[in-house]
Amino acid sequence: MDDAAFWHRLQFAFTITYHYLFPQLTMGLALLIFVMKTLALRGGPTADRWNQAARFWIRIFGLNFAMGVATGIPMEFQFGTNWAGFSRYAGNVVGHTLAMEGMFAFFLESSFLAVLVWGERRVGPVGHWLAALALFAGSWASGYFIIMTNAFMQHPVGYALGPDGRLVLADFAAFVFNPWGLAQYAHTMVGAVVTGSFVVAAVGAFYLLRGIHLDAARRFVAVGVVAGLISSVLVAFPTGDHQAKLVAKHQPGARAAMEGRFHSGPYAEITLIGQPNVKERRIDNPLQVPGVLSFLAFGAFHTDVPGLDTVPEENWPDNIELLYYAFHIMVGLGTIFIALMGLATLLLAWRGRLFTSRPVLWALLLAFPFPYIANTAGWMTAELGRQPWLVYGMFRTKDGASPLVHPGSALFTLIGFAGIYLVLGVLFLWLISREIAHGPDGLEAPHEYGVPGGSAHV
Amino acid sequence: MFELWYGIVALMFTAYVVLDGYDLGAGALHLFVAKDDAERRAVIAAIGPYWDGNEVVLLAAGGALFVAFPDALAAGLSGFYLAIFLVLWCLIGRGIGIEFRSHVEEPMWRGFWDVVFCVSSALLPVLFGAALGNLIRGVPLTADGWFQLTLFTHFRPEPPVGILDWYTVLSGVFALVALVAHGATFLAWHPEGPVRAKSAQRVRPLYAGVAVLFPLITVATLTVRPDDLAALPGRPLAWLGMALALAGIVTVFVATARARSLAAFLGSCAFLAGMLGATAACLFPQIVPAVGGSAGPAITAYDAGNTEAGLRTALGWWAVGFPIVVVYFVIVHRVHRRPIRAAG
């Protein structure tokens, strides 16, 4: 393999995919913890129960946050180590959002994480609620700056071409309020809430099925199912729909490849299932509905939807098959999420029948991995759809890699990450399962830093 | 504007070394001054609420470098490729070690993570010191402003250079001793209990090491970069930094003798800040200096890929963000110094 860019891409893809398993939960959970702390702050007889529920999720949050930080720091550095060509080309623009993330998000998160996890006894109920708010604001701000960085790569705005052929920032406001980015941010954050809701609901369902921690379990299921329904609907409509329309408008090649549409024409059919055969330019074994794609993309059934044949082949995404599957998996799972959470919410509203409906509880328990898959598939759709560009339409991916880092070095570090992340993943799952096995009952606020609260932690 | 941003970037990296330096040093030292679980918990409790925020200063400093001097960041990170990943893996080990440790109350588990935490905390200063040594010595830049260094060649600071030679190894060792000494002054001041006294005993011998190595590394630097000696008379900030560093060392010894632990810690901060400030003042305007025989010139603040307008925009948000960050640090330090309330 003398193509170093391939190894750089593989390493970035591996490390970012692994990394994003953690922030999608912490960003979603930060909102739900804030909801629980708000319910506790209202006072009343259930305040203690909500505080205890929050304490449990703060412990889960802490572990995930640590993994998110540990796997996130390499992402920042890889812009320089592996993608030095890109950093030089676009650093004048994307340097702003990446640096602002540190200044306006990471400091907020890192400062108040210890207060949230260890400081409940020091700061009192209002202070602890504020710490939950700070974590929520910090983690969502962090997401904003990263999305705006990505949005510039997807849909560059606010730049000018410098005399040396590199980009300079021309309009700061246009860049940080990139309309593509605002749509992508809404879609991504709601997607994170889907993951958070499903995980909270799944843990509650697990306790109900086992008949333990019943009071907390009902709270988890109720919060998880209601937030899960709201977020599952929002992630499809309006945010996902809007995002798809933007892709159709600005990245026609990506949109065509996502749908497996090789040829243009009116009354465009939507492919539900089928295997893209790129060599023959067709979908094998297709299950299709005519006209629907035209309607989804442009709002009318007869509209001509351009296929890949309208895009020069050197500008086609370079992995059409994976892009097609990633998009279809995301959309398919999203549809199932709405159905499952809709059913669960109905049962919850029907005098709490959900709490005794074992089949639905089982479904909620077994569903928790799928939002992770859907979020990952969504990012794969966005990033594979952007190919072969690093900055869409302007700068090709192969030109962005560090010019002097050879494949031997890139593979060395990729193997290193694979080993470290395997060990971390195993230990993380073991620690999380211990936390879940211990459960929320009897969790007290920690007395000092580094000494978890709760009686049964031996 | 280019000068101002050079100063801001230097300030951020110096703040990183001073802040994360004490928890790195404390981490490297803690196996030696904290023998049982209660004592190690005291160390972790002392740095626990702060280390994450301190580490973020590194990301913020890197961000400032990226936005202000993207060419320097791109050349530096890709040029030191393998060494940067060693840094990243150590940062992962540290962060995970401190978090995972407290989740399981079991001696084998905790002993393992204590060693991970200690070793990664000790390796990081060596790597940072060696990296700074590399920059001071200069790197073999191509005409396009790139370089690629292997970890070692013949261990001499002359072409073909590697990341490790006698000069950069000496910088790494010096950084380790300086930050462990810095960590000792922190542990002699901050935590309660026996760790404080045991750390206080270590301050003097460690800082004696600093007092020996500091002149040595200064002479070595002037040997490796003789040009700096000629430039020194015109660099008042470098003299100021050196004076601050020396005053810091003296303060550490005097304050330790009088058992004034906070003053000793602040003296240690002044030493690190003065030394790094003097280094930055000597290197200005170079960010990635070229070693003798390079095809290309050094990457300087004036040609590292940004424009006056871009830097002005960045200054706009930086000036908003920086005071906010200072407020966070004040709040966090006040919260964690406050006694615990009875009611949870």
Q: What span, in angstroms and rounded, lies between the C-alpha atoms of B102 and A356?
A: 36
**A362 in contact with B at a CB cutoff of 8 Å?**
no
User: Can you tell me the mean pLDDT for A218-239?
Assistant: 96
Q: Which residues of B touch A70 (CB under 8 A)?
A: 91-92, 95-96
Percent of chain A scored above 70 by pLDDT? 97
Binary contact (B329, A444; C-beta < 8 A): no
**pLDDT in the model for residue A455:** 41
Q: What span, in angstroms and rounded, lies between the C-alpha atoms of B132 and A438?
A: 47
**For residue A300, what pLDDT band results from cuts at 50, 70 and 90?**
confident
Share the mean pLDDT of chain B.
Answer: 90
Quote the DSSP letter at residue A119.
Answer: -
On whether the CB atoms of residues B48 and B206 are closer than 8 A, the answer is no
Q: Which residues of A touch B316 (CB under 8 A)?
A: 172
Taking CA–CA distances from B324, the nearest residue in chain A reads: A104
Q: What span, in angstroms and rounded, lies between the C-alpha atoms of B133 and A13?
A: 33
Amino acid in position B103: H
On whether the CB atoms of residues B249 and B208 are closer than 8 A, the answer is no
Asked if pLDDT for residue A172 goes beyond 90, the answer is: yes
**For residue B340, what pLDDT band results from cuts at 50, 70 and 90?**
very low
A439-453, B75-89, B110-124: the lowest-pLDDT one: A439-453
Q: Which residues of A touch B23 (CB under 8 A)?
A: none
Share the mean pLDDT of chain A.
Answer: 92
Structure tokens at A233: 């609907």
Asked if pLDDT for residue A457 goes beyond 50, the answer is: no
Three-state DSSP at A251 gives: coil
**For residue A221, what pLDDT band results from cuts at 50, 70 and 90?**
very high
**pLDDT in the model for residue B344:** 32
Q: What span, in angstroms and rounded, lies between the C-alpha atoms of A85 and A390?
A: 11
Q: CA separation (Å) from A100 to A239, A312, A330, A380, B65? A: 25, 37, 30, 25, 12
**pLDDT in the model for residue B132:** 94
The DSSP result for B96-130, as a single string, is: HHHHHHTT---HHHHHHHHHHHHHHHHHHHHHHHH
Contacts for A18 with CB less than 8 Å, ≥ 6 apart: A71, A421, A425
Contacts for A106 with CB less than 8 Å, ≥ 6 apart: A138, A142, B56, B59, B60
Structure tokens at A22: 């953690």
**For residue A2, what pLDDT band results from cuts at 50, 70 and 90?**
low
User: Can you tell me the mean pLDDT for B298-302?
Assistant: 90
**Closest Cβ–Cβ partner in B60, B76, B340 for A80:** B76
Q: How far is B66 from chain A (nearest CA, A)?
A: 5
**pLDDT in the model for residue A443:** 83
Asked if pLDDT for residue B341 goes beyond 60, the answer is: no
**Closest Cβ–Cβ partner in A74, A110, A413 for B52:** A110
Q: What is the pLDDT of residues B6-50, one digit of tens each?
A: 999 999 999 999 999 999 999 999 999 888 888 888 888 888 888
In the numeric block, the tokens 């959309």 are attached to A331
Q: What span, in angstroms and rounded, lies between the C-alpha atoms of A68 and A66?
A: 5
Q: Which residues of A touch B41 (CB under 8 A)?
A: 448, 450-451
Quote the DSSP letter at residue A271.
Answer: E
Asked if pLDDT for residue B343 goes beyond 60, the answer is: no
**A415 in contact with B at a CB cutoff of 8 Å?**
no
Asked if pLDDT for residue A433 goes beyond 70, the answer is: yes
In the numeric block, the tokens 């019943």 are attached to A214
Structure tokens at B4: 């101002």
How many C-beta atoms surround the C-beta of residue A382 within 10 A? 24
**pLDDT in the model for residue B337:** 73
Q: How far is A26 from chain B (nearest CA, A)?
A: 16
Surface-to-core class of residue B246, CB atoms within 10 Å of its CB (0-12 exposed, 13-18 middle, 19+ buried)? middle
Taking CA–CA distances from A112, the nearest residue in chain B reads: B332
Binary contact (A88, B67; C-beta < 8 A): no
Q: Which segment, A137-146, A435-444, B298-307, is predicted with the most confidence on average?
A: A137-146
Q: Which residues of A touch B85 (CB under 8 A)?
A: 74, 81, 413, 416
Q: What span, in angstroms and rounded, lies between the C-alpha atoms of A15 and A22?
A: 12
**pLDDT in the model for residue B339:** 52
Q: What span, in angstroms and rounded, lies between the C-alpha atoms of A38 and B68?
A: 41
Amino acid in position B29: L
- Give the number of beta-carbon pairs within 8 Å between A and B: 235
Of A361 and B193, more confident: A361
Q: What span, in angstroms and rounded, lies between the C-alpha atoms of A237 and A231?
A: 10
Q: How far is A66 from chain B (nearest CA, A)?
A: 6
Residues 96-135, chain A, touching B (beta carbon < 8 A): 96, 98-104, 106-108, 110-115, 118-124, 127
Q: Which residues of A touch B307 (CB under 8 A)?
A: 92, 162, 168
Binary contact (B79, A404; C-beta < 8 A): yes
A274-283, A447-456, B171-180: the lowest-pLDDT one: A447-456
User: Can you tell me the mean pLDDT for B80-99?
Assistant: 93
**pLDDT in the model for residue A52:** 92
Q: What span, in angstroms and rounded, lies between the C-alpha atoms of A265 and A389?
A: 26
**A358 in contact with B at a CB cutoff of 8 Å?**
no
Contacts for A49 with CB less than 8 Å, ≥ 6 apart: A215, A216, A219
Whole-prediction pTM value? Answer: 0.93
Q: What is the pLDDT of residues A272-287, one digit of tens each?
A: 999 999 999 999 999 9
Asked if pLDDT for residue B318 goes beyond 50, the answer is: yes
Asked if pLDDT for residue B334 goes beyond 90, the answer is: no
**For residue A451, what pLDDT band results from cuts at 50, 70 and 90?**
low
Q: Which segment, A222-231, A302-311, B274-283, is predicted with the most confidence on average?
A: A222-231
On whether the CB atoms of residues B155 and B170 are closer than 8 A, the answer is no
Q: Which residues of B touch A427 (CB under 8 A)?
A: 100
Q: Which residues of A touch B79 (CB under 8 A)?
A: 404
Q: Which residues of B touch A92 (CB under 8 A)?
A: 67, 70, 305-307, 310
Of A130 and B195, more confident: A130
**pLDDT in the model for residue B291:** 87
User: Can you tell me the mean pLDDT for A422-439?
Assistant: 95
Binary contact (B306, A79; C-beta < 8 A): no
**pLDDT in the model for residue B323:** 93
Q: Which residues of B touch A100 (CB under 8 A)?
A: 63, 317, 321
Q: How far is B299 from chain A (nearest CA, A)?
A: 13
Q: What is the pLDDT of residues A83-129, one digit of tens each?
A: 999 999 999 999 999 999 999 999 999 889 988 988 888 888 999 99
Q: What span, in angstroms and rounded, lies between the C-alpha atoms of A264 and A248?
A: 13
Taking CA–CA distances from B59, the nearest residue in chain A reads: A102
**Closest Cβ–Cβ partner in A63, A420, A449 for B92:** A420
Taking CA–CA distances from A122, the nearest residue in chain B reads: B340
Taking CA–CA distances from A166, the nearest residue in chain B reads: B305
**pLDDT in the model for residue A181:** 96
**For residue B102, what pLDDT band results from cuts at 50, 70 and 90?**
confident
Q: What is the pLDDT of residues A371-419, one digit of tens each?
A: 999 999 999 999 999 999 999 999 999 999 999 999 999 999 999 999 9
Binary contact (A162, B307; C-beta < 8 A): yes
Taking CA–CA distances from B78, the nearest residue in chain A reads: A81
Binary contact (A112, B332; C-beta < 8 A): yes
